[in-house]
Amino acid sequence: LYDVRALSEEVRALAKERDAVILAHNYQVPEIQDVADYVGDSLGLSRQAAAADASVIAFCGVHFMAETASVLSPEKTVLIPDLDAGCSLADSITPEQLADWQAKHPGAVTVMYVNTTAEVKAITDYCVTSANAVNVVAHILEEHGADTEILFGPDMFLGAYVEKTLGLNERGGFHIWDGECHVHAGIRPSDITKIRGEHPDADFLIHPECGCVTSVMEYVASGDVASEGVHMLSTGGMLKYAEEHPDREAIVATETGMLYPMQQAAPEARLIPANPRAECVYMKMITLPKLRDSLRDLRYEVKVPEAVAERARVPIERMVAIS
């Protein structure tokens, strides 16, 4: 439909002209990853953006990620090539819903995944990513007391993973919001059973948002699957795994876009998607023509108002300080 090479060159020239840095999430289509300055996970990219000395950030990812970049780089112009690139998980909790939940549990500490809007972050105590959620919650229990009540959200599978890993099930007081990412929730225990049968020796790389996360933990607990081969990882962690294990066979349970940067990092690795239909339509809304238009016309700007950004920065900085 379009000449990828010519368009990529146009994008690079416009980025130079606009003094822009192009960031791409690991789930972006290959041609966007290829034209980007940095490819990575959601928080890593925002931190990269804050450190970069460019005046414009073209964020090829979804809306909450561009918001986080704006929160961490208030002086920069943050662009997203398509304003409709949202996130079903971030949409699963509004600031009003969170405020109601908090009102029912006065004194509880609120812990929210980075996949939330800036307005939700602004009334959150600590943010977490999939890479550090267990450590951050463990730190809160140490700091605030082992019986601290916690509101954790919005992802119920990440919440269940944290609860099980830290043995909080019996303790009570660890409340989990019932949100989910429709893509990861769709990676079911039955997918894992099927794929394990086909690749009995493969390692398992699992994003903790997956609908299969608790059943895999149960396989490990029962001795049915060797724990050394199972890794709960953020997208950044999966990439690192590929770099460190370039000749392995691994089942990858996350959005299928992830296989591209992993395969680039480890061309010999045998990577198998746990569910080949696990595609995020929002991530795939970003295309080269839209990125070109975005840089050419400086649209669509994502700007978090300073009053919100100032408060949203607090839980992010607390998390960064812990991890």
User: Which positions touch ligand 13P (CB under 6 A)?
Assistant: 26, 41-42, 115, 129-130, 181, 209, 234-235, 255
CB closer to ligand SF4, 48 vs 116: 116
**Nearest distance, CB of residue 50 and ligand SF4, angstroms:** 21
Count other Cβ atoms within 10 Å, centred on residue 105.
Answer: 14
CB closer to ligand SF4, 161 vs 219: 161
Strand ranges, E, within 98-201: 109-113, 126-128, 150-153, 174-176
CB closer to ligand 13P, 21 vs 206: 206
42 touches which of ligand SF4, ligand 13P, none (CB within 5 to 8 A by kind)? ligand 13P
CB 293 within 8 A of CB 61: no
Region for residue 252 given its phi and psi (left: phi exceeds 0; alpha: psi -120 to 50; beta: otherwise): beta
Total residues at the site for ligand SF4 (CB under 6 A)? Answer: 12
Q: How far is CA 315 from CA 40, 49, 119, 128, 309, in A?
A: 21, 18, 12, 9, 11
Strand ranges, E, within 51-106: 56-60, 77-79
271 touches which of ligand 13P, ligand SF4, none (CB within 5 to 8 A by kind)? none
For residue 281, the SS3 value is: coil
CB closer to ligand SF4, 183 vs 205: 183
> What distance, in Å, lies between the first and last C-alpha atoms of the chain?
44
**Nearest distance, CB of residue 114 and ligand 13P, angstroms:** 6
Residues 6+ apart with CB under 8 A from 158: 113, 128, 130, 133, 208, 209, 213
CB 180 within 8 A of CB 89: yes
Residue 88 sits in the site that holds ligand SF4 (CB under 6 A)? yes
Q: Round to whole Å and give the CA distance between 70 and 64.
A: 10
Q: Would you give the distance in Å from CA 77 to the centre of its chain?
A: 22
**Nearest distance, CB of residue 64 and ligand SF4, angstroms:** 8
Region binding ligand SF4 by CB under 6 A among candidate stretches 13-21, 52-60, 93-101, 181-189: 181-189
Residue 280 sits in the site that holds ligand SF4 (CB under 6 A)? yes
3-state helix, strand, coil in the chain (%, to 5): 50, 15, 35
DSSP annotation of 83 reads T
* Cis check: omega of the bond before 106, within 30 degrees of 0: no
**Nearest distance, CB of residue 276 and ligand SF4, angstroms:** 15
The two tokens of residue 249 are 């066979």
Residue 87 sits in the site that holds ligand SF4 (CB under 6 A)? yes
CB closer to ligand SF4, 11 vs 258: 258
Residue 82 sits in the site that holds ligand SF4 (CB under 6 A)? no
Residue 161 sits in the site that holds ligand SF4 (CB under 6 A)? no
Residue 46 sits in the site that holds ligand SF4 (CB under 6 A)? no
CB closer to ligand SF4, 10 vs 209: 209
CA atoms within 13 A on the CB side of 46: 23
**Nearest distance, CB of residue 23 and ligand SF4, angstroms:** 14
Binding mask 109-128 for ligand SF4 (x = CB under 6 A): ------x-------------
Q: Which of residues 89-108 bind ligand SF4 (CB under 6 A)?
A: 89
**Nearest distance, CB of residue 236 and ligand SF4, angstroms:** 13
CB closer to ligand SF4, 130 vs 140: 130
Give the interface with ligand SF4 as residue ranges (CB under 6 A): 62, 87-89, 115, 181, 183-184, 255, 280, 282-283
